[in-house]
Structure 1
């Protein structure tokens, strides 16, 4: 389970986001990271039961680095204020549509997944599928249990219509999405509960049909 002390580390890091403080508190970071890895490992073991292509995935390959890439950013804070993990075949860099989980202070921990920042080719495939056969997607994302769990719909949208589609298209609201992913945020008290890993695994089970839909659409070898 996630130790409240791990959240306290993230809160203090947020206030002291500099290399000097980080090095002075290196053991605290190591302990907090180990706690997150241990919890994420429990999640991964549960996911292997529902997604066989995760069987040979090493949990360490799933964990995001805490260092920020500041080369082209005006924000020069060196560290992320959260711990994150991407669960895909081989780890976080699978290239597929995977599950994403992070813990963050101020009740911003979350589980999510879906179509985020797709290539122009994949976005075209997504819109074409909506045009030809919208019901398959709508059945997945309008499912009662799915929407009860994933109560946030995210993604950039066009203000008008995408090129090549009529403004009066019956699915114009779906066609406007340039991204379409779903999130569930959790309070710190929820994350620190004993069986919280089961809550995350439940969410992944609900999200999996949508993930599979996208992977089958985007990747010929899926």
Structure 2
């Protein structure tokens, strides 16, 4: 034993010879295991039993059982603590998952509400744009109708001049119904072959009636263009 290394050799030999450490350990073990109400009386009886060499083995086994029980309790406590720790971790994860799912649902509801509001605003703006465009188209169509009624009474030369005023008038003058009846006889004083070719190449699919009476200035290119039609 470590505490006997520096002891007097005679004393150490005496202690080891009479097994005093084992006796003290057995007596202390008996006290710890039995917990008697009268410990001194218990020690007296056990000393007598040791002298008679009857209870030494019993005390040693009691000490061993005490150690085993303590170790068993420690192992059981360790297992319980590990189980409790796992349960706590799982419960914490479950709570965190529930909170996360709830947060996701709240975020989705907010996003859906925001998208609905944005959609309503967009629909309102789109309706305003459509209504404004429709009003503009209606007004423009009214003006176009008025222009068209005026352009129907114009001759070829006047239509060509109106087409040079602006884009709107040019688009109106390109209406096929304005070129269904072409009379070059009214413009015979200034009409040329190039103008006839230009007009017929652009509008001849819509021409129903063509008047060339008195157009003596027209030559072969104009008649060739008419024949191709």
Task: Tell me whether the two structures share a fold, i.e. TM-score over 0.5.
Answer: no
Greater helix share, structure number: 2
Greater strand share, structure number: 1
- TM bracket, shorter-chain basis: under 0.3
